Chains A and B, each alone.
Chain A
Amino acid sequence: MKLEEVKEILNAEVLCGHDRLSEEVNTACGADLMSDVLASKDEKSLLLTGLTNVQVVRTAEVLGDIVCIVFVRGKKPGPEILKMADSASIVIMKTDYPLFIACGLLYKNGLDCGSEF
C-alpha cells in the first residue's frame, strides 16, 4: 500500500515527508509500548501510536524498517519530533481516528501485520 493511500484511508494530515508519499508499506503495527515494537519479530514499515514523545521516532530510527509513523486520536507531535523524523527520513502523519479504528481501516483495506505476531 502506498503512503498516499494510507493518508486517504485515515483522512490523515502529513506533517513531515510530503515528498515521500509514493513509498510503499507492506506491514503495520499499532502500539503504545515501544518495548512491544522492539520485540516484534518481523519488519514493520508503518507504526501507528498514540504516544507522542521523541522515543517513538528514536525507536523507529533504531529499528530502521519503519518508514512512516501515524499519530492517532488527533495528537500532534512537537517540533522536536518532526525535526528528528525529518533527519531520519521518516514520514509523519496524524489522524483523528483512535488507534483501534485506524488499524482496522488499514487492515480492512489490505494492509497486514506481517508473517509473525
Chain B
Amino acid sequence: MKPYTMDFDVKARDFSSAGESSSKFRKTLLMLSIPSDIVRRASIAAYEAEMNIVIHSYGGKMHFEIYSDKIVIIADDTGPGIKDLELAMKEGYSTAPKEVIEMGFGAGMGLPNMKRNVDNMEVVNHDESGTKIVMTINF
C-alpha cells in the first residue's frame, strides 16, 4: 500500500516557525485516527529532530510516511554533520550555543529522546555533508 507522505523544508535558526512541520504532522496523525500513544511518541520524535535541524544545521527537510501499520520519519539536513555520534547519543551532552539553551533547548536530550520514542532509529549519515536520520514506529 502506498503511504500517505508529507514533506517540509526546515530553515536553520528560524525559531518562530520551528516545530510547525511536527505540529502539522501531529494534526494529520490525529485526523487519520492513529492511536494516541503512537501520536505522542511520533510527535515528540519528529519535534526533537526538527529542532535539531533548526539549532544545529544549515537547514534541511522533514519527510513523513504514514502506513497502515507503521510511521517513518526522516530528518535530512545539509550539514555540518555530527562529529562524535557516540557522545551525541549520551544524555546531557550538548553542543548547542548559549542563546539556544536560553530558549529552553539544547539540554543534550534530543537524540536520546528521539531514540526512546521510536522502535528503530538509524543515523544513515552524519559526516560534514549532512545528517540523515530515519526513525520508524510500528503499531
Contact among B15, B47, B104 with A32 in the assembled complex (CB-CB below 8 Å) = B104
Q: Is A54 a contact of B15 with CB atoms below 8 Å?
A: yes
Binding site for B on A (CB under 8 A): 32-36, 38-39, 43, 49, 51, 53-56, 58-59, 61-65, 80
Given contacts A34-B104, A36-B109, A64-B26, 7 further A-B contacts (CB under 8 A): A35-B107, A49-B104, A55-B18, A55-B105, A58-B19, A62-B23, A62-B47
Which residues 38-90 of B have a CB within 8 angstroms of A?
Answer: 39-40, 43-44, 46-48
Number of B residues whose C-beta is below 8 Å from A? Answer: 27
Distance A63 CA – B104 CA, assembled complex (angstroms): 15
Chain B hits for A34, CB < 8 A: 103-105
Residues of B within 8 A of A65 (CB): 40
- Known contacts being A39-B113, A64-B39, is A33 close to B104, with CB within 8 Å? yes
